[in-house]
Structure 1
Amino acid sequence: MRISEKLTNTTWAAPTLQALKAELDQLEASGSLHIPNEPGGWWHQYVCPTHHTELEFDPTERDAQVFLCPHGCRIEGDAYRGAWLVFKHQSMARVALQAAAVYAGTKEQAYADLAKRILVSYADQFPQYPVHPDAQPWMLKGRAFHQALTEAIWSTTLLRAYVLLQDEGITLNKIEQAALDMFLSMLESSMTQYRYILIHERKNAENNYTAWLNAALSCVYTIRGQREQLVDLIDSEGGWKHHLSIGVKPDQFEFEGSTYYHIFVLRAYLISAEMAERFGIDLYHAQGEQGQSMKGMFDVLVGLSDDQGVLPALHDGPLARVPFAREIAEIMEIGLAAYGNEAYAPILGEAYRQMDGERCRISLEALVYGEGNADLTGPMPGRSSLLLADSGFAVGRNPNNGLSFLVDFGPHGGSHGHYDKLHLSLQHQGGAFTPDLGMVPYGSSLRKEWFAETASHNTVSVGGKSQAIHEGRCKQFTESQDSVYAWLQSDAAYEGGLLERHLLLTDEWLLDWFEVNLNSEQTIDWWMHAIAAPEAIGGRWASIEGDAREILGSQESGYDRIELLGRYEPNARTGTEDTTSLLTVRYNLDNSESGTLYQSTVMFDREVDALYRVETPGTSVDPSKKLSGLLHRRNGRKVSFIHLYKLGSAPAVSWQSAAAYGGIGAGRIIIGDQQKRAVCELDAEQGLKVTWEEDNE
């Protein structure tokens, strides 16, 4: 649908057009629409070395040598300057697309001229850039940027602006056309060369780079009218169809298991599809060799999203940042128009909320790619549980319980993976309660020192070390009308060790039973990082006796980033049998209908078990804003961690040792009151066995 049609067919396009026009006028008046002569560097270095937050970028700034942290730090240096230049060049490409869109809506020549000026200026300048001398050795080097990848992304924005101008009847004069032709020729040459290196020399065709090199070349061939070359690009080794078959798992998730890179690759696919459609080629409904499709890639995001439309930051990727929100908005606008699934709307609305503070269409992404008048303000529709067996994620939901869970058991994720097998994210109606913390820009030391380590995830670490790179498995995943059960297993995280996590979600509570079996006695740490601080119920957080660093032991694998704030000391032993205790903590869930979350923990020996409140770096949005989480520590060779979660009120729970009822093994947990209770115990062959008992009197 053309922009002129949207102005009459939608309620939001006209005010959005005027807002975008006013923004361009402000940028023009500020004198900031200047293209630097220097090439860009690597944007991941645009991060404060003290606070580990992304530095601020102001598009109204013409030039910059000093770069500001949100906390007031003033940063200087060539690496930061190079990263700022990435943002500046990308911002100018976005202005070109915005100006083309405003022209399409207003027919005011000044905006077409602005878009042309930026396009031609870059076309003139591009040959002046050398192959980047400062790029890191592992990179495929670009000219306008350290990475050819960044160059491909930037070029597609510029070339989409040109295509939009073409659609509106704008042409270039001979001198301008000659500059553009040279730019296209050089871009084609470098993108083709790097495709060959990736696909044939490195045998790494599935790399997310490939999808973007394909997208850039698709734009080049479309502008030139080269249908044959585009068809070959789609059908050849490493081309669009082949990449879809090898870069996306059969369960429709990108092969690295990262939400960010899933969206990253899907966006590149959509650009290629947009260009192919101009030749009458439909890629929107094409499939890979195992049924992979772009629609499937959209639908899997619906399954992973929380109730508010927030996507989890699985493996590498930001928890939230405005440029990422723009990418989400772009793909969701296109997906909503192409497939009409209204379940995409809450994800789109959340992206706009992160961008502009409101769940409404007021951005460039809406004007260029959006259609229709879908309601973006509502929550996600009811969804069933989800198992991504190939990618290794499972989501448990119960329509009568505000709690849900997401657990990671699958492949490591390559260079973008974390040491996080059997990581658990808890969610409630207001959002994620124990989210995956996301990933800071790669220039931050915390990337490897904290956010990728096991201790930063809601799983188990052994001996003060992170897990090995490995792949776990799902032993069982069942969903019934009353409950969801997941049995996840890992036997390669630690040599000679077996980790098993059993999750049972009912209409009232969630049971998390984590078993660890080792070939020798070691210290075993169970971690939980929540967005709310735990409050001791029936006890207090006692000050730590002795040196906290010595108690933690390890000074590697992220342990040096952890502070011990207190050890749980109950006022009296509760739910006891032998030496067993039950400790309960409460969390206040701000701005949520869920209100309060209670967590009960089985402590098998108060003299040996320890439940600590810890302080750690915050989420990747701002690591300097500390989180207060839990560390449950036990020593042994065979160890159980049993935790129960319930919204609204503390669960009725007790532990019964096997000796008390003539059973075999550690024992069983009883959840509920005399009216209705669940008796849960583990069986080596069958997993978690649940018997429901009701008092019928």
Structure 2
Amino acid sequence: MNDQRLNRLRTNASLPHFADAMMLLRHEVEEASQITYGIGPEEHGEWTHQYHCHHDGAQLAFDWRKPLSHLCPVCGTVWTGEPYDSAWTSLVHVTIGKAVYNMALLHMIEPDPKHLGQIKTFLTAYADYYEGYLVHGGIPYNGPGKLFAQTLDEAHWIMDLTLGFYWIREHLSLEETAHIRGGLLAPCARFLIEHKEKQIHNHSVLITSAIASIGILLNDEAIIRSGLEGEYGLYDQIRRGRFEDGLWYEGNVHYHFYAFQSLLHFALMAEGTPWEVWQTAGLKSMFDYPIHLILPNGDMPSLNDAGNRAGIHMYAPFYEIALDIFGDELYRSLLNTAYGTEWAEEPFSGAKAVARSSANALLFGRELAPIEGASSHPLWNAAHRNISLPASGITKLVNRKGWQAVIKHSKFGGEHDHMDRLGLSVVCGDMPLLVDAGTTAYGVPAHYGWFKHTFSHNTVCLNGADQPPADGRVIRFEEQPWGAWTETAVDWLSEQYEMKDRIHLPLELCPWDRNAYEGAVIRRINALTDGYLLDIVSVTVPERRKVSLMNHFSGMLAENGAASWQLTDDRLCALDQRWLKQKRKLMTSTRASSFHYQLEEGCLRQLFWSSQPCDIYTALTPDNPPDRDRTSIVMRADTDQRIVFVQALLYDSNHKTDLDAFDSLAVNMLADNEYRIVIATAGERQAYSLFWHESGAELAKCD
């Protein structure tokens, strides 16, 4: 950190705009000063993802006084024994790492001998014992740790300690400095170098960033270059792991920023040195990309291994950096909206607002008053628009009523992928209609049992199995006076995908059935008008397969006397059937039907047609968090030829479900690959012609 950054920190700390940040920092330091845990020679941490309740997925309540008793704050269950006790130990050291960071940061603003002494105590204790900690691990797809159970967590922890050490280094004696460098920093660097991952991965970004950061502190060019250069070094990670449009390849905003924050952490450490990276090619695009995905309530879509309800309120600290480095007014607008200031954008009135309380605000924060002449609503205009991003594989359709439909035609994203090419997520304002639920903590059974599989998504599943790795693509994207539409596709005509030679997957993370998908082609058309979403899915198989189209609605099915359901033991997919409660089957196979759902607010109507008779199933399946349910509807056909599904989704936010609403969907197949689609709703009748050529579809609204 150069002198300019230090001056910014001290100036911001004195300004009223940053009072919340200083209040939080002082509070965190006060809590840190109460830590009495004695770091010893036999510390042994386990995976913190296991520190969650298996019943509801809630994180257990960490209590310094109860290392052997771990309470779920939601259901009250007390968990004991392993892995909880050793996960508690990991949380101890995560907390100490953050304590060192916070106390050192505050010490640069408000020097305090007590806090300085505590930082020295922690750092020297680690230096006393770190070399002797036993290497251990066993977490699937992760290298080992010494203090922790994986290399990743070791890198997280040392990154906090490196900045803490960096900020107080001038207050250390020569003996203290030598002891910390020789007993902690150097052996940790050697360990991380030994266990660098030989693939493109978010873990690798963090590990190589940590190595390079330690190298700067040790003034050791060989260590710095070991982190930055060569195959799978930090430079290579950013070059080959970032798509051309800016998204990190693992396919969601969570892991995008998880990888990005490590690069930014190193950037702060390297500021003012020959290794400075602020102007690295593509860095700005990594700030720009997530803005395309923002939903009407300020949240981000929960794609792949992302949790639910993450949004601009969580990612605002990154945009403190972005505004300072690049000065883009779009970033200023995002910050104002995330903080709920007087300049927050009105269309995002439902977005969660948070205090401007991050360390990044102190280190990078700028004035938030918009510059004179700035355009109005730049954030809304950037986020709520029709856009297709072919490189990363996301298309978003929007309308004037607050609908956003996100179609996932992305490239295979490795370990954190959910094997759900052409998945569909639809919201209206703050209301989820048909969404990707993301996932929960990895130690919760529902993660590997349900969320991380094709069948739990709004897409196509063959023979009940997971989709093998494949890259989706967008074929058409058009905006018309009546709305916007896109055609996307994925196939399994070969086993190639872009990231194949850059990532490595162990067998336990390869649950798919290649035989079920070999030779199959899926194409999907989505058209969004101001009144409804039209969804058309074509599935072509080379031989007989069970073809399922899944829809997972954020509401409950409204019963109708005209629909005759019966309980069934039919196996709907390869997953454990315990995830599908109250399985029922429509008594008769059908080519057309309609269903109504009562949502938390309003009702959703689903009109459905298929080119072949289908069995229709419904069940209650896990929502996120997994102690809640949502309604799954599965259309399944046993076929050896092409099948086409057509559905229209209509949402009324103001009324409860009207089972007698007169809505209809009619589809006529006029010739090979030619269709006429008529939707009648609310007294209006709208028709479309579809010519579905091999090279791409032609969709037009009929006058």
Aligned residue type for 1:217 = I
* CA separation of 1:664 and 1:180: change in aligned 2, threshold 3 A: closer
- 2:568 corresponds to which of 538, 541, 548: 548
Report the counterpart of residue 505 of structure 2 in structure 1: none
Report the CA distance between 1:284 and its aligned residue.
1.9
Matched, 1:532 2:562: no
Report the counterpart of residue 44 of structure 2 in structure 1: 39
Cα distance in 1, alignment partners of residues 95 and 235 from structure 2: 31
Report the counterpart of residue 303 of structure 1 in structure 2: 292
Matched, 1:393 2:379: no
Matched, 1:316 2:305: yes
3-state SS of the aligned residue for 2:380? coil
Matched, 1:458 2:458: yes
Report the CA distance between 1:513 and its aligned residue.
0.8
Report the CA distance between 1:475 and its aligned residue.
2.3
**Structure 1, unaligned stretches of length 5 or more?**
199-203, 288-292, 571-578, 591-595
Report the CA distance between 1:567 and its aligned residue.
6.0
3-state SS of the aligned residue for 1:396? strand
Report the CA distance between 1:343 and its aligned residue.
4.1
* CA separation of 1:555 and 1:525: change in aligned 2, threshold 3 A: closer
* CA separation of 1:521 and 1:129: change in aligned 2, threshold 3 A: closer
- 2:690 corresponds to which of 678, 681, 684: 681
* Residue-by-residue CA offset, 1:5-36 (whole Å, 9 max, x unaligned): 1134451x22331333234334544x555546
Matched, 1:332 2:331: no
Report the CA distance between 1:306 and its aligned residue.
1.4
Report the CA distance between 1:126 and its aligned residue.
1.4
Normalised TM-score (structure 2): 0.82
* More displaced stretch, 259-268 vs 388-397: 388-397
Report the counterpart of residue 373 of structure 2 in structure 1: none
Report the CA distance between 1:517 and its aligned residue.
2.6
Aligned residues: 644
- 1:518 corresponds to which of 518, 522, 541: 541
Matched, 1:255 2:263: no
- 1:361 corresponds to which of 356, 362, 377: 356
Cα distance in 2, alignment partners of residues 226 and 615 from structure 1: 58
Report the counterpart of residue 583 of structure 1 in structure 2: 594
Cα distance in 2, alignment partners of residues 448 and 73 from structure 1: 22
Report the counterpart of residue 442 of structure 1 in structure 2: 442
Q: How is 1:569-608 mapped onto 2 (pairs within 5 angstroms)?
A: 581-588=592-599, 590=601, 596=602, 598-603=604-609, 608=613
3-state SS of the aligned residue for 2:171? coil
Cα distance in 2, alignment partners of residues 114 and 275 from structure 1: 22
* CA separation of 1:170 and 1:255: change in aligned 2, threshold 3 A: same
- 2:11 corresponds to which of 5, 20, 42: 5
Contact map agreement 1:534 1:585 (CA 8 A) in 2: yes
* CA separation of 1:693 and 1:256: change in aligned 2, threshold 3 A: closer
* Residue-by-residue CA offset, 1:116-163 (whole Å, 9 max, x unaligned): 33233322231231223x545854222111212211111001111222
Report the CA distance between 1:251 and its aligned residue.
2.6
Report the counterpart of residue 21 of structure 2 in structure 1: 16
Cα distance in 2, alignment partners of residues 418 and 490 from structure 1: 15
3-state SS of the aligned residue for 2:478? strand
Contact map agreement 1:336 1:345 (CA 8 A) in 2: yes
Report the CA distance between 1:580 and its aligned residue.
6.2
Aligned residue type for 2:43 = E
Cα distance in 2, alignment partners of residues 379 and 635 from structure 1: 49
3-state SS of the aligned residue for 1:627? strand
Cα distance in 1, alignment partners of residues 537 and 114 from structure 2: 64
Report the CA distance between 1:524 and its aligned residue.
2.9
Report the CA distance between 1:565 and its aligned residue.
5.8
Report the CA distance between 1:220 and its aligned residue.
1.5
* CA separation of 1:216 and 1:244: change in aligned 2, threshold 3 A: same
Report the CA distance between 1:601 and its aligned residue.
1.4
3-state SS of the aligned residue for 1:513? strand
3-state SS of the aligned residue for 1:433? strand
* CA separation of 1:227 and 1:555: change in aligned 2, threshold 3 A: closer
* CA separation of 1:138 and 1:61: change in aligned 2, threshold 3 A: same
Matched, 1:641 2:641: no
Report the counterpart of residue 91 of structure 1 in structure 2: 95
Report the CA distance between 1:307 and its aligned residue.
2.4
Matched, 1:141 2:147: no
Report the counterpart of residue 573 of structure 1 in structure 2: none
* More displaced stretch, 253-262 vs 72-81: 253-262
Report the counterpart of residue 174 of structure 1 in structure 2: 175
The alignment's C-alpha RMSD in Å is 3.5
| Identity of matched residues, % | 22
Report the CA distance between 1:65 and its aligned residue.
0.9
* CA separation of 1:565 and 1:141: change in aligned 2, threshold 3 A: closer
Contact map agreement 2:393 2:411 (CA 8 A) in 1: yes
- 1:668 corresponds to which of 660, 676, 695: 676
Cα distance in 2, alignment partners of residues 139 and 124 from structure 1: 27
Cα distance in 1, alignment partners of residues 558 and 334 from structure 2: 32
Contact map agreement 1:456 1:529 (CA 8 A) in 2: yes
Normalised TM-score (structure 1): 0.82
* CA separation of 1:20 and 1:282: change in aligned 2, threshold 3 A: closer
3-state SS of the aligned residue for 1:382? helix
Matched, 1:429 2:429: yes
Matched, 1:74 2:78: yes
* Residue-by-residue CA offset, 1:292-330 (whole Å, 9 max, x unaligned): x12111211111221233222322233358xx9998454
Contact map agreement 1:343 1:381 (CA 8 A) in 2: no
Contact map agreement 2:433 2:554 (CA 8 A) in 1: yes
* CA separation of 1:275 and 1:343: change in aligned 2, threshold 3 A: same
Report the counterpart of residue 632 of structure 1 in structure 2: 635
Matched, 1:562 2:584: no
* Residue-by-residue CA offset, 1:26-77 (whole Å, 9 max, x unaligned): 4544x555546513112222233344x143243x524511222232221122
3-state SS of the aligned residue for 1:91? helix
* CA separation of 1:374 and 1:308: change in aligned 2, threshold 3 A: farther
Contact map agreement 1:7 1:14 (CA 8 A) in 2: yes
Contact map agreement 2:531 2:650 (CA 8 A) in 1: yes
Aligned residue type for 2:422 = L
Contact map agreement 2:192 2:211 (CA 8 A) in 1: yes
**Structure 2, unaligned stretches of length 5 or more?**
341-350, 371-376, 493-515, 654-660
Cα distance in 2, alignment partners of residues 424 and 432 from structure 1: 12
Aligned residue type for 2:64 = E
Report the counterpart of residue 224 of structure 1 in structure 2: 218
Contact map agreement 1:40 1:86 (CA 8 A) in 2: yes
* Residue-by-residue CA offset, 1:205-241 (whole Å, 9 max, x unaligned): 4233332222112221222344686467544443332
3-state SS of the aligned residue for 2:184? helix
Report the CA distance between 1:473 and its aligned residue.
2.7
